[in-house]
Each structure stands twice: as structure tokens, then as C-alpha cells.
Structure 1
Amino acid sequence: MNSFVLVNGNLIAILGFLTIGLFLVLTMTRRVSVLTALVLVPVVTALVGGFAAGMGPMILEGLGKVAPTGIMIAFAVLYFSLMIDTGLFDPLIRGILRLAKDDPLRIAVGTAVLTMCVALDGDGASTFLITVSALLPVYKRLNMSPLVLTGVVCLGAGVMNMVPWGGPTARAMAVLKLDSSEVFAPVLPAMAAGIVWAGGGVPDRAAGTPPPGHRGPARRAQDSGRGPGRVRAGTR
């Protein structure tokens, strides 16, 4: 009996890994769409494993477990997509750029703040699209490294991805069969510490150092004779 359970458990584990691998191959090679692969691949592996008779009850049971999480994710995506389309974050972007001016450190901190605000939707793709498209021209104009932009965005988005409707937390709730308060409440202290680190812990060097020969505003003012570093003729 124990050997049968062991063999059966190994078979289920192998089928699970095969399901994931086949799904990745089909979607990455673009043979089928993601939705089609999500439906067909588990059905095929279940048939191969001899679970045809119990597929109906298993599907209903699985849908019942993930339905609350799915509804929450769908609402979050639709709500924040609507807010993004109506320009919810446009005033925030303008305010950050106005406060940061041409200071690389302020730009880096503003990047973290903007990222964490946009990442409230739990969708990493929209977070990168909004943040990078808004700030990449600023980084190029100030000769800041684009790696700083991507690094700060990843730092902020990684922290905010722990919201209940984010991918990792939602999957954890579905697998562990827990509600959002049981999973999200214990990570709030770590999430708060991450927000403080992402928003205020950007070091000065991470903000980017102008390359040699870069003529910043102070240097240009000195070269033109308006800065304190240059003495005008006749003033001695």
C-alpha cells in the first residue's frame, strides 16, 4: 500500500512538472496562446495520468478554491487599468519631475516613489511601462545610467508586489488555501521596511555620477562668467 502511494505520488509530481514544462514550451515558442495552453495542457496531462473519470469534480473543486483570488485580481486589474487610462498618475509624474529638477539623487528617489505608487495595481508590466516611459528621457538628459532606473523600479515593484492582488501573494493564497488577511498581515512589517528602504535608502552613488567632462549647470555657469568660480575682469 505504501509503495503504491509512493508511486502514485511520484507520478503526480512528474505530471505536474511536465504540465509546467509543456506550458512554457508552447507559450514561449508561440505555438498556442496562453489561455489555450492553460486550458488544454492540464487536461491532456490529466488524461495521460488516467484521471479522466475524476476530472469533473477536480475542476470544480479547483475553481472553487481560486475563485475568490481570481475575482480580486480581476477587479484590481480593471480598476487600475481604468485609473491609468484616465491619467491618474500624470499629476504625480509632473510633481516628481518638478520637485526633482536636475538633481540625480532626487530623480532616483522620485523614481522609487512613482514606482511604488504605480505598482499598487499588482501588475509588473504596467509598472515598467508607465515608470520607464516617463523617466527614461529624464535619465538620458541628465546622463544617468538606465541601469539605475531599472534597478530602482525593480526594487520598488518587488516590494509592492506583495499586495494581496499581486502575483506571488495571490498564488500563495491559492496554494495554501488561506484568505488575504492570513497571508498579507504577517508580511506588513517587512513590506513597510522595504518601502522605507526603496523610498529613502537610495544612496548618493546610485543616483548616478556625471561622466568625466560632463558640464553641469554649475560648470556651465562658471564657464560663462556667471558663477562664483570665475573672477570677472576689472573686479580686483
Structure 2
Amino acid sequence: MLMAVSGFLMLATIMYFLFRGRTIPVVVFITVPVLAAFLAGFSVEEVVSFIQFGIKKTSKMAVLFIFSVTFFGIMSDAGMFDGLVNKLVSKAGTNVVAVAVATAIIGIFSHLDGATVTTVLVTVPAMLPVYQKLNIRPHLLLLIVGCGMGVMNLLPWGGPVARAAVVLGTDPTTLWRHMIPLQIMGIFATLGLAVVMAIHEKKYHNAGRIDLVVNEASGELEAKAENEEALKLKRYDRTWVNLGMTVILLGVLLADIFPTYFTFMIGVCAALLVNYPDVQEQKRRMKAHAPAALDVASVMLAAGIMVGILGKSGMLEAMTVPLLEVIPGPIAHFLHIIMGIIALPLGTMLGTDSYFYGLLPLAIKVGENYGITGLTMAIAMTVGKNLSLLISPLVPATYLGIGLTNIELKDHIRYSFFGLWAVGLIMFAFAWVIGMF
């Protein structure tokens, strides 16, 4: 009982501080879980082992973030995206809706490999300059990418589906076949969300207004002059070389030839040597991107402490038991409906492993006592969890996304939460209408 109370207090405290912005995530993720572990009665040695476990799980990802953020930062300095940005802006003009729909399509197709980090790395650096040019808040970019990612992660090789299949003791492809109609509906819902939110951004936040100044001598509109220092860093004569390097890097990532973090380490070296052969300029480029890179990595390492304590202490299992036991009998008959509706909020707070290996088996066990099949429960709980991927503080790609767009975690969650939940509920309602429940 003490472990369950400690766990609930820990999650409530963490979410309070994150949403209220009382302190930075690093402080919350390090101090609160450690205090909760001691409150639950664990010894110093046990807490240390939990911390080591968690750090081990996230350290490679932290290295990946340092070098991936630095790589795309260097490419942006060199002007690799400038040509693409100008072409997209000229095609779309000030059509914010067209840009949002294009983002949704790119996000959906780029997640065919099921890798969340790769999807963020493919879509965000390429589209972010377009959003900046059109004065669209980057929050919309992350929302659309996260939604497309969540829908496409229902594929058999997606991590959540694979985990749910393990719990059910079935093949992931078999589980996916049941969810194909939901995935199709999710794609349309993602496009719809992009349109609605783009109209909202245009109406209430001046999206689509390109910053222009009037040339008093000629009376013509001219784009604001770029910073002279930034112009000195541009390497437009090497744009195709940089694009080639980026394509090769992404190809190596998709082929899974080397560890992801090592691929980006090599990528940073190549980017520096090709664009800035001068040693002093190489040092300046690394220092310029160090704050963003280290900020993302430090949060990831700190989150590892929370993941380790939740995953290794047994605290999560202790928390789920009373949650399911307090459900009254009449309501328990609709447990799959309840779990499906609250799947996204739960998925935001719980890690993927904790959710599918901790909560889902218990929910299935309870549901079977009331005539709810394991397959029904798994489908109901998987949809919402998938859509929470890019707003969960426990998912590494979340920190990569907010790091690349320079958005606060709490602001990102506030902006995206209800839009993603709405898409999840639409998919859930559709499943109900076609008789899946």
C-alpha cells in the first residue's frame, strides 16, 4: 500500500510541477522520484540500483539527442533548408491550411518505419523553417507530426502493437488486421485536425503573415534582411552536398546499420569538415548549438531516473492494483470503454513498457471476469496510448521534438493534448459504431 501511495504522490507531484511551470523538468525528474522511492521504504542501495537501471536505458538516447540536434543545427546554419523553404513558401503562399495538410501527409508517410525519433528528425527540421517563414507557431507542427505518428504506429512493427500482441499471446499482424479500419479513420482524422488547427492559427495568431518591410525608395515590399553574421555562415554552394549527406545519414538510420547515436556522431563530423573546415569556426558551431543539445540530453537523463524507479521498484504494479479493484461491478462491465476513453491521459503519464506490460495485463484480467475479451481491451487501450507518444514526458522523441522547436514541455502538452485526445476519441467512437466493441 505504501508503494502505491508513494507512486501516486510521485506522478501527481511531477505532473503538477510540469504543468504549472514551477521549475525545470530536470529538477522534477531527479528529485521527486528519488524522494518517492525513499518514502516507499527502499534503501540507498536499492534506489541507486534503480537509478543506474534508468540511466542505462536513456544514456544512449541522450548522446543521440546531443549529436542529432547539433547536426541539424549545423545544416540549418549552412542554409541547407533555405531552398526548400523558399520553394514551399512560394507554392503555398500564405496558405496555412495547405502547409498543415502537407505536414500531416509527410508525418504519416515518414512514420512507415515505426521509429518515433527518426520521424521527428525527418519532418521537424525540414518543415520548421516553413512555419517560421509563415509565422505559424511550431506547436502546430509538433501536434500534427505527433498525430500522424500515433496513427501510423498502429502498424505491426510499431512498438505498442508489438507489446500488446505479446500480452495477448498473438501475432502483431493479426492484431493489426483488426485495427486497419481504425487506422484509416485515424488518417482522415489527422488531416481534419490539421485543417481545423491551421484555421485556428490563422484566425487567432496571425499565421500566414510573412514579415515584410516597405522599401521607401521604391515602394516595393522586401523581405527583412537577414543577420549579417548568419549570412556569413551560409554555404549555398554546398547545398546539394549537404542534402546528399543528410539523405545518406537518414538511409543509414532506416537501414539500422550502426547505432543511431553513432550515425549522428559521424554526421556531425562530416557536416563540420565539409562546411566549416576552419578549426575556430568548428568550435564556434559546436558552442552555438551546445545549449539546445545539452538541454535536451539533460532532461532525457533525468527522466531516466523516473523510468528506473517506476520500472524496477514494483511501484507501478502496486499503483495499478488499487486502481482496478475500486471499480464498482456495474461499471466494470464497461471497463474497456472507460480504459479506451482515458487511454491517452494514462498513456501520457505512463511509459510504453509500464502501460502495456503493467497496466494492460491487469485490465485484461479484470475485464475477463465481466465478459470483456482480451482482444477488445487491447484494442481499446492501444489507440489512445499511441496518440500520446509525442506528448508523454516518458517518450524520448518528445524531448527531441521540443528541443528542435525550442518549445517548453508544458506548453507543448497544453497545446497538443486535447487535439490528440479528440482524434483518439473519434477513432474509438468509430470502432464502437462498426461493432468492434
Relative to the length of structure 1, the TM-score reads: 0.60
Matched residues in 2 for 1:85 and 1:190: separation? 33
Amino acid at match of 1:49: V
What is the Cα deviation at residue 19 of structure 1?
Answer: 1.4
Matched residues in 2 for 1:206 and 1:129: separation? 28
Q: Which of 308, 319, 322 is the matching residue for 1:95?
A: 322
What is the Cα deviation at residue 48 of structure 1?
Answer: 6.8
Q: Deviations over 1:70-125 (max 9, x none)?
A: 2222222321320232223224422344327695631352366477436425x434
1:37 to 2:266 alignment: no
Amino acid at match of 1:57: R
Matched residues in 2 for 1:49 and 1:137: separation? 58
Q: Show the counterpart of 1:66.
A: 293
- Native 8 Å contact 2:317 2:358 kept in 1: no
Query: Identity of paired residues, percent?
Result: 6
Matched residues in 2 for 1:69 and 1:85: separation? 24
Amino acid at match of 2:259: S
Q: Show the counterpart of 1:13.
A: 243
- Native 8 Å contact 1:162 1:184 kept in 2: yes
Q: Deviations over 1:46-67 (max 9, x none)?
A: 2673544344333333332122
- Native 8 Å contact 2:293 2:403 kept in 1: yes
Query: Relative contact order, CA 8 A, sep 6+: which one is greater?
Result: 2
Map 1:205-216 → 2, pairs under 5 A: none
Q: Deviations over 1:201-234 (max 9, x none)?
A: 697578966xxxxxxxxxxxxxxxxxxxxxxxxx
Matched residues in 2 for 1:188 and 1:41: separation? 34
1:109 to 2:338 alignment: yes
Q: Show the counterpart of 1:46.
A: 271
Matched residues in 2 for 1:71 and 1:207: separation? 46
Amino acid at match of 1:159: S
- Native 8 Å contact 1:132 1:149 kept in 2: yes
Amino acid at match of 2:254: L
- More helix per residue: 2
Q: Show the counterpart of 2:412.
A: 183
Larger radius of gyration: 1
Matched residues in 1 for 2:430 and 2:303: separation? 29
- Residues 59, 12 of structure 1: CA spacing in aligned structure 2 closer, same or farther, 3 A cutoff? same
- Native 8 Å contact 1:19 1:41 kept in 2: yes
- Residues 118, 190 of structure 1: CA spacing in aligned structure 2 closer, same or farther, 3 A cutoff? closer
Q: Which of 303, 306, 319 is the matching residue for 1:76?
A: 303
Q: Could you tell me which runs of 5 or more consecutive residues in structure 2 were left unpaired when the two chains were aligned.
A: 1-81, 84-233
Amino acid at match of 2:298: I
CA RMSD of aligned residues (A): 4.2
Q: Show the counterpart of 1:23.
A: 253
Matched residues in 1 for 2:368 and 2:263: separation? 40
Give the secondary structure class of the aligned counterpart of 1:49: helix
Give the secondary structure class of the aligned counterpart of 1:173: helix
- Native 8 Å contact 1:114 1:131 kept in 2: no
User: Which range moves more in the overlay, 174-183 or 100-109?
Assistant: 100-109
Matched residues in 2 for 1:160 and 1:14: separation? 30
Relative to the length of structure 2, the TM-score reads: 0.36
1:124 to 2:349 alignment: no
What is the Cα deviation at residue 13 of structure 1?
Answer: 2.7
- Native 8 Å contact 1:116 1:157 kept in 2: no
The number of residues matched between the two structures is 200
What is the Cα deviation at residue 10 of structure 1?
Answer: 3.5
Q: Deviations over 1:113-147 (max 9, x none)?
A: 477436425x4344333344444556778572536
